[in-house]
Amino acid sequence: MEEHSNQKLNLASKRHNPIPELWWFFAVAACVKLLLIPSYHSTDFEVHRHWLALTNSLPLSQWYFDETSPWTLDYPPFFAYFERFLSVFANIIDPQIVDLQKGLNYNSNTVVYFQRVTVIVSDLCLVYGVFRLSRNLDSLRRKSIWVLIIWSPMLVIVDHLHFQYNGFLLGVLLISLSYLEEGNDLMGGFVFAVLLCFKHLFAVAAPVFFVYLLRHYCWGGGFLRVFKRLSAMGAVVVAVFLAAYGPFVYYGQIQQVISRMFPFGRGLCHAYWAPNFWVFYIILDKGLAFLLRRLGFNIQAPAASFTGGLVGDSSPFAVLPRVTPFTTFIMVLVALSPCLIKAWRDPQPGKITRWVAYAYMCGFLFGWHVHEKASLHFVIPLAIVAVQSMDGARHYFLLSIGFSAIFESGVSVKKASLENKRDDQPELKTRTAAQKIGFSIGRVEKNYLVGIIVVEIWGRFLHPLVFGDKFPFIPLMFISIYCTIGIMYSWIWQLKWIVRCVGS
């Protein structure tokens, strides 16, 4: 009788059309974003405005050579084509938006409304990706994913205040993952190749995609089958990259494009330090330098300071060895290795999203010149994982609340309210219409989350009282250090899950 009832519920869930409800979620989010149009925006707003002007005013052969602005084009060609597409409409609305000689910081109402609206509309890609990943889930899990992603405070702040197109790009990532979870590996590989030609920083997960697709799609069934499938996947990926980079190869500019995309001269750390492993390395170097100076050693501080808050070559250290891009590359690969082993031994479509999220966290922790906003690359996919288990839900709860993104302007993004939702039993409880998820967090997690409030109180109130305008980097430094502890905890939690699965 109970089995028959569950079958009826599953059948009703499949018959239910989630699209009208999904549109409602998007509409609510869009209304909030429209209200935020007059709000603060960062220099990224002018970066994208300049790219509209650049791609509209200059021939393609000059896009990656232009230096009329400090904000030179440094994204892959598909994103440049995307800007060129948007510039057609910008030119209709206000020709001055695409005037390359207009100068910096053109900030009329027309450009503000136009660029803000383009981000809102491009979020439809994110909505489609969320729909594809959640359409076969039960109603509660489906709506939970919609809330965590479509209503993500991090995405709203980064895209619709700070200003970027992360929602659009993450939508492409989710579409690729949805195809892989369905077993459509060829389409999944195709969409991921498209994503890499929009933003190359997503390439951190490329080793996971490569190993998984090689093992799950290409391997097995005899030499002829392997050859056919490997050729098909290779042809799809090559075709995508030819469409993106082919014109620049034709003009003999591919070296210039690559140099713009990978500016290794910017240094190990972004301004004000992303909360990753290198924060500990920097603190250790500064601590050793201070101690050695007190002991009488002649230790000179490097000319490029890590605490200046400026984007530049901040790689020199006073005591510890200099970190190179190759070093960070090797560290990312080593951190990824358990995941790659698992993807090869047991390539399960249902686990690919978790593996990709882990890969992006490895890139965030150990990568070169990591920006704080790169945390979205693993936070958003982990929202899919969060609805699959109690451990996943607890982990996402800690990560999403504990993570703080720090911007160049000194704006700190935080979410420090502590909710502890309890139930009589922690496991999933099946009811007639839905499932209710109840979980509790441990003492360590509670103390960590409370600590965020302490750090914020210091930065917002106590530091100005004690130091006034002096040492403005200290509050942001504290946030970086504290959030690094949470990110490392999260990474270790995910690594333990990967290793446990490898051993099983």
Q: Which pLDDT score is estimated for 270?
A: 66
Residue 490 carries which side chain, given as an amino acid letter?
S
Which tens digits make up the pLDDT trace of 373-398? Answer: 888 999 999 999 888 877 777 778 77
Query: How much of the chain, in percent, has pLDDT values that exceed 70?
Result: 83
- Residue 450 predicted with pLDDT over 80: yes
pLDDT of residue 322: 86
Q: Sorting pLDDT into bands at 50, 70 and 90, what band is 181?
A: very high
CB atoms within 10 A of CB 203: 14
pLDDT at 439: 56
**103-112, 143-152, 444-453: range with highest mean pLDDT:** 143-152
- Of the listed ranges 105-114, 351-360, 439-448, the one predicted with least confidence: 439-448
Question: Which residues lie closer than 8 Å to 447 by C-beta, 6 or more apart?
Answer: none
**For the segment 33-60, what is each residue's pLDDT rounded down to a tens digit?**
999 999 888 889 999 999 999 999 999 9
Confidence of residue 268 (pLDDT cuts 50, 70, 90): confident
Q: What is the mean pLDDT of residues 264-274?
A: 67
Average pLDDT over residues 356-379: 91
Residue-level pLDDT at 269: 76
Q: Write down the pLDDT at residue 205.
A: 97
Most confident among 33-42, 295-304, 367-376, 476-485 (mean pLDDT): 33-42
C-alpha closest to that of 83 among 124, 36, 110, 115 = 115
Listed range (284-288, 352-356, 435-439) with the worst mean pLDDT: 435-439
Is the pLDDT confidence value at 120 over 70?
yes
Q: How many CB atoms lie within 10 A of CB 412?
A: 18
Taking all residues of the chain, what is their mean pLDDT, rounded to a whole number? 83
Query: Which is higher by pLDDT, 350 or 16?
Result: 350
* Average pLDDT for 207-231: 93
**Sequence-distant (≥ 6) Cβ neighbours of residue 487 within 8 angstroms:** 275, 276, 361, 364, 365, 375, 399, 403
Query: Residue 449: what pLDDT?
Result: 79
Burial class (CB in 10 A: 0-12, 13-18, 19+), 243: middle
The pLDDT score that the predictor gives to residue 420 is 38
Written in H, E and C, the secondary structure of 414-471 is CCCCCCCCCCCCCCCEECCCCEECCCCCCHHHHHHHHHHHHHHHHHHHHHHHHHCCCC
Question: Rounded distance, CA 357 to CA 490, Å?
Answer: 11
Tell me: the pLDDT tens digits for 153-164? Answer: 889 989 999 899
Q: Which tens digit of pLDDT belongs to each residue from 51-91? A: 999 999 999 999 999 988 888 999 999 999 999 999 999 99
Better pLDDT: 186 or 294 = 186
The 3-state DSSP class for residue 165 equals coil
Give the model's pLDDT for residue 230. Answer: 95
At residue 315, does pLDDT exceed 60? no
Helices (H), 251-375: 254-261, 277-294, 325-345, 352-366
User: Would you kindly state where each structural domain of the chain is located, as residue ranges?
Assistant: 18-261, 277-417+440-501
Residue that has been written with the tokens 């920083």 in this structure:
201
Backbone angles phi, psi at 430, to 5 degrees: -85, 130
Q: What is the pLDDT of residue 293?
A: 85
Q: What are phi and psi of 323, to 5 degrees?
A: -90, 130
CB 421 within 8 A of CB 441: no
